[in-house]
Homo-oligomer: A and B are copies of this chain.
Amino acid sequence: MSRVVTLTGGVGGAKLVLGLMQICPPEQITAIVNTGDDFRHLGLAISPDIDTLLYTLSGKANKTQGWGREGESWSFMDAVKSLGGEDWFLLGDGDLALHVLRSHLLAEGETLSAITARFASAWELGLSILPMSDDPVATHLTTSEGDMPFQRYFVECRCAPEVEAIRFEGAERASATAGVIEAITDPATKAILIAPSNPWLSVDPILAVPGIKEALAVTHAPVVAVSPIVGGQAVKGPTAKLMGEMGLAVTNESIAAHYADVIDGLLVDERDDASGLTIPHDVTDTLMKTLADRERVARAALALADRIAG
């Protein structure tokens, strides 16, 4: 059985995996998911990128806001506010089920990967969803407004502070989840895709887990990134702003340079100039608005991988 492995963060990554699900049987797909955004809120264990993937693949994702569930109700938040509880991070009523059950099972000693597999199985998703690690890794940012964990930067501060440095606390002591290294180095793996998630905030935490970068270097499977840049901008989130703050041009060359020792190819958007790229690349419309868009991008990424494999 041939396999496709994807390294993925939030919304953009979930869309690419959904595109893959239109092409490949789900049992051939392994998604390795960023957990650097994971945090505790009101005592609950929240894994934003895993949840975005679960909601997107099960058809439950809110299509306009990019997080949470479609048709969500908000009785919990209303009651929390009336009790004077923290309300900067919104937890929908239905969304709470994942967090409450995950927190409960973690407290009982189950691993994040076992819990994630349990959820994916309950919703009959079929693919393998692997948190990058069962050990805690927490993305922290040094900013113009001080040091802050990811969610404070992303949600509470709406990415407004200027970012000076990013670190992944705990990464050097973390172990890749069982199955991650195996999936990357499996001779049956025909392509490894890096989703168009934020390279610095969503993909780098995965690459920071010891062994993953090394596995990507030794695998025979071509590693293809889908560029998060579309028409000289990031589709969503702080990627372009962050690149500016790091002194980088918002170009595919910057993306290619960032992934230089990791990828074998880069899929770029047709709106952008790819003439300066020195690595194998391909061009398509990478904007993923419809399901057909997602399938097209997944197909193009797999085709580039095929071409590189020769």
Contact = CB atoms under 8 A, between A and B. Distances in A.
A44 interface: yes
A79 B104 CA distance: 15
Contacts of A122: 82-84
Interface residues of A, number: 31
Instruction: List 10 tightest A-B contacts by C-beta distance, closest first.
Output: A79-B97, A43-B104, A93-B93, A75-B93, A75-B94, A79-B94, A80-B97, A73-B73, A84-B122, A83-B122
A78 interface: yes
A119 interface: yes
A82 B60 CA distance: 12
Nearest to A107: B43
A92 interface: yes
Interface in A211-242: none
Contacts of A95: 79
Interface centre among A76, A95, A119 (most CB of B within 10 A): A76
21 contacts: A42-B101, A43-B103, A44-B100, A73-B93, A75-B92, A76-B76, A76-B93, A79-B95, A79-B96, A79-B97, A79-B98, A80-B97, A80-B100, A82-B97, A82-B123, A83-B101, A83-B119, A93-B93, A96-B96, A96-B100, A100-B100
B100 A43 contact: yes
A72 interface: yes
Interface centre among A100, A103, A123 (most CB of B within 10 A): A100
Contacts of A100: 42-44, 76, 80, 96, 100
Interface in A48-103: 69, 72-73, 75-76, 78-80, 82-85, 92-98, 100-101, 103
